[in-house]
């Protein structure tokens, strides 16, 4: 479990990126932070692995304040996926995936086998292992980024707008793949996006943010869709404009697409499939 308690971050230039933010992130679930650009999402994410330290408040992981932990060791237990995968361009897929394992001095053979398994896990052909990032499609690069983040088998996975740079079809594919992976791996995922549809599709818990990471509403997708807490939330999720013609819903069968009349239009992910 990750807990933020009255956390603030003011950058040296005076920007109040996060102001008095409190949240419990439950284990083995996906929590999505969704808000407009500049609302403080990346700052929140980077405070979890101490790439940014708060100026006030406490963040705990499993009841222990992370301020007491060595940042390098802390980060080994936390995978981080960036937009475009954040891959090293002059390293092969194999070398990118095994970066952390090599730092940990994992025997070469073991690291190699683990990397190949990870390529299977993220749905990539093993023959891609010797390619360079520029020889892969955007979607493939993104999958390599996920494989790399999973290499040290972290309990926590941070994902910062990971699918922002790919086209809509590949994006939908990667979203479905993320749901499948999460059913299999059950990590504690904190996922950042500015896309409301993505938030409702992927999130068990969705956190809608305003400026300075002020929480407008926290809840499950259906709680928020059925009962937007404020005008801001209603307009942000598009119910006012009738823009939400289709929305996603978790059912006993899996995640389904539902139209404005509540009719199921399709199954995105079937549980136990
Ligand atoms: P988001 O990820 O939601 O777009 P960020 O956390 O990146 O938001 O930024 C929140 C606010 O903090 C923005 O106003 C941004 O300009 C500012 N900010 C982010 N990083 C820095 C920094 N290193 N120095 C000063 N201001 C920053
Ligand atoms: Mg950001």
Q: What is the DSSP string of 172-205?
A: HHHHHHHHHHHHHH--EEEEEES-HHHHHHH-SE
43 lines ligand 1 (CB under 6 A): yes
Question: What is the per-residue pLDDT across 18-32, written as a single tens digit (0 to 9) for each?
Answer: 999 999 999 999 999
Question: What is the per-residue pLDDT across 171-199, written as a single tens digit (0 to 9) for each?
Answer: 999 999 999 999 999 999 999 999 999 99
15 lines ligand 1 (CB under 6 A): yes
Question: What is the per-residue pLDDT across 194-227, written as a single tens digit (0 to 9) for each?
Answer: 999 999 999 999 999 999 999 999 999 999 999 9
Q: Which-ligand-closest: CA of 159?
A: 2
Contact in structure between 43 and 18 (CB atoms under 8 Å): yes
* Substitution site in 43, 51, 55, 194 for ligand 1 pocket (most atoms within 8 Å of beta carbon): 43
Residue 86 confidence (pLDDT): 85
Confidence of residue 273 (pLDDT cuts 50, 70, 90): very low
CA 261 to CA 100: how far, in whole Å?
49
Nearest CA to 28 out of 154, 118, 155 is that of 155
Kindly state the average pLDDT of the residues 55-62: 98
271 pLDDT above the threshold of 80: no
Return the percentage of the chain with pLDDT > 90, whole number.
78
Distance from residue 117's CA to the centre of ligand 2 (Å): 31
Question: What is the per-residue pLDDT across 220-270, written as a single tens digit (0 to 9) for each?
Answer: 999 999 999 999 999 999 865 455 555 666 776 677 766 666 666 566 666
212 lines ligand 1 (CB under 6 A): no
> Taking the model in full, what pTM does it have?
0.88
Q: Which-ligand-closest: CA of 52?
A: 1
């Amino acid at each position: 479990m990750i807990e933020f308690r009255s956390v603030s971050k003011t950058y040296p230039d005076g920007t109040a990126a996060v102001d008095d933010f409190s949240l419990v992130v439950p284990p083995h679930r996906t929590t999505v932070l969704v808000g407009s650009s500049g609302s403080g999402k990346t700052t929140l994410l980077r405070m979890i692995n101490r790439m940014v330290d708060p100026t006030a408040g406490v963040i705990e992981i499993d009841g222990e304040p992370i301020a007491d932990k060595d940042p390098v060791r802390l980060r080994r237990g936390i995978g981080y996926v960036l937009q475009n995968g954040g891959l090293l361009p002059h390293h092969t897929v194999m070398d990118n995936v095994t970066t952390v394992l090599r730092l940990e001095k994992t025997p070469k053979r073991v690291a190699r086998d683990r990397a190949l398994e990870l390529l299977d896990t993220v749905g990539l052909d093993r023959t891609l292992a010797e390619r360079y990032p520029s020889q892969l499609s955007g979607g493939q690069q993104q999958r390599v980024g996920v494989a790399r983040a999973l290499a040290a088998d972290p309990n926590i996975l941070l994902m910062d707008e990971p699918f922002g740079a790919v086209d809509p079809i590949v994006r939908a594919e990667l979203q479905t793949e993320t749901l499948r992976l999460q059913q299999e791996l059950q990590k504690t995922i904190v996922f950042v996006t500015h896309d409301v549809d993505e938030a409702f599709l992927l999130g068990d818990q969705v956190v809608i943010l305003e400026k300075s990471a002020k929480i407008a509403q926290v809840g499950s997708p259906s709680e928020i869709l059925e009962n937007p807490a404020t005008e801001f939330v209603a307009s942000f999720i598009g119910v006012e404009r009738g823009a939400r013609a289709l929305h996603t819903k978790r059912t006993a069968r899996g995640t389904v697409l539902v139209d404005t009349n509540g009719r199921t239009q399709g199954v995105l992910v079937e549980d136990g499939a």
